[in-house]
Amino acid sequence: MPRRPRLILPNVPLHLIQRGNNRQVCFVADEDYRFYLDWLKEYADKTGCRIHAYVLMTNHVHLLLSSPTSDAAGALMKALGQRYVQYFNRTYRRSGTLWEGRFRSCLTQQERYLLACQRYIELNPVRAGMVEHPGEYRWSSYRANAQGEDNPLIQPHELFLALGQGVEARQAAYRELFRYELEPGVVDEIRKATNGNFALGDARFGEQIAAVLGRRVLRGKAGRPRKSRDADTGDLL
């Protein structure tokens, strides 16, 4: 069965996941995380992609970015993935693939889902039971977005900038969002859209994207309700 083409449009935020093959560990030492982030910055600059949020988990990566062209995000991930695999194999004296095939992604409706998607990404370590608060986890964008930690990789989205007048006001407003857990239904929507390569948004957003791309972009209505868990791996993401 042929793969569904990715849904990518210029300047429409894209949430993507890159997983380790067979759930294998992709980051072992602190240096691994640092090299990955350094190279992410390098290739984001080269391709013109703007990184709004990220988290590096032990065996997978989440990014929220805006791509200036339809092929920039793919170029970024290809170059980054190849370079990191070469480094990882050389460092840990292994060979073969590291990533689970192609990255998975979903176009994200800005007004309704962008900030929810940022929270989803930065709350990953909390959902996984690694930390109690996202600020305790070093390998995410939370400290930059919510606490003002210097991070040249992050380029805030316009909706984030609209949270308040001035840096401190925006950060305070963003931190306030984390006082409340994401609703399970929203988490489920983000997971299913990303894993299925669908658009994450309401019917109007889906119609707009479908009109541009000329194909269906929203998930069909399921015949029976399903539990909110990753259908492919069963993992908490």
Q: What is the pLDDT along the chain (237 residues), one digit of tens a residue?
A: 456 667 788 899 999 999 999 889 999 999 999 999 999 999 999 999 999 999 999 999 999 999 999 999 999 999 999 999 999 999 999 998 999 888 999 999 988 899 999 999 999 999 999 999 999 999 999 999 999 999 999 999 999 999 999 999 999 999 999 998 888 899 999 999 998 888 888 888 888 888 887 777 777 654 444 444 454 445 555
Q: 191, 232 in Cβ contact below 8 A?
A: no
State residue 108's pLDDT score. 92
Which CATH number fits the domain 14-213, given the four candidates 3.40.50.2300, 1.10.645.10, 3.40.640.10, 3.30.70.1290? 3.30.70.1290
In the chain, the N- to C-terminal Cα span, in Å, equals 26
* b/e per residue 113-128 (b: at least 16 CB within 10 A): bbbbbbbbbbbbbbee
Helix, strand or coil, per DSSP, at residue 74 = helix
> Hey, where are the domains in the chain?
14-213
In whole angstroms, give the CA distance from residue 57 to residue 68. Answer: 26
Residue written as token pair 């305070």: 172
17: tokens are: 């996941």
Of 126, 127, 94, which is closest to residue 25 (Cα–Cα)? 94
In whole angstroms, give the CA distance from residue 184 to residue 211. Answer: 30
Q: 195, 230 in Cβ contact below 8 A?
A: yes
72: tokens are: 């920039």
pLDDT (tens digit, 9 = 90+) per residue, 13-57? Answer: 999 999 999 889 999 999 999 999 999 999 999 999 999 999 999
Residues 6 or more apart whose CB falls under 8 angstroms from that of 135 comprise 142, 143, 146, 147
Q: 13, 62 in Cβ contact below 8 A?
A: no
State residue 217's pLDDT score. 78
Report phi then psi at 199, rounded to 5: -80, 145
- The pTM is what? 0.88
Q: What is the CA radius of gyration of the chain?
A: 17
Burial (CB < 10 A; 0-12, 13-18, 19+), residue 138, is middle
Q: 14, 107 in Cβ contact below 8 A?
A: yes
State residue 207's pLDDT score. 86
State residue 202's pLDDT score. 87
State residue 226's pLDDT score. 45
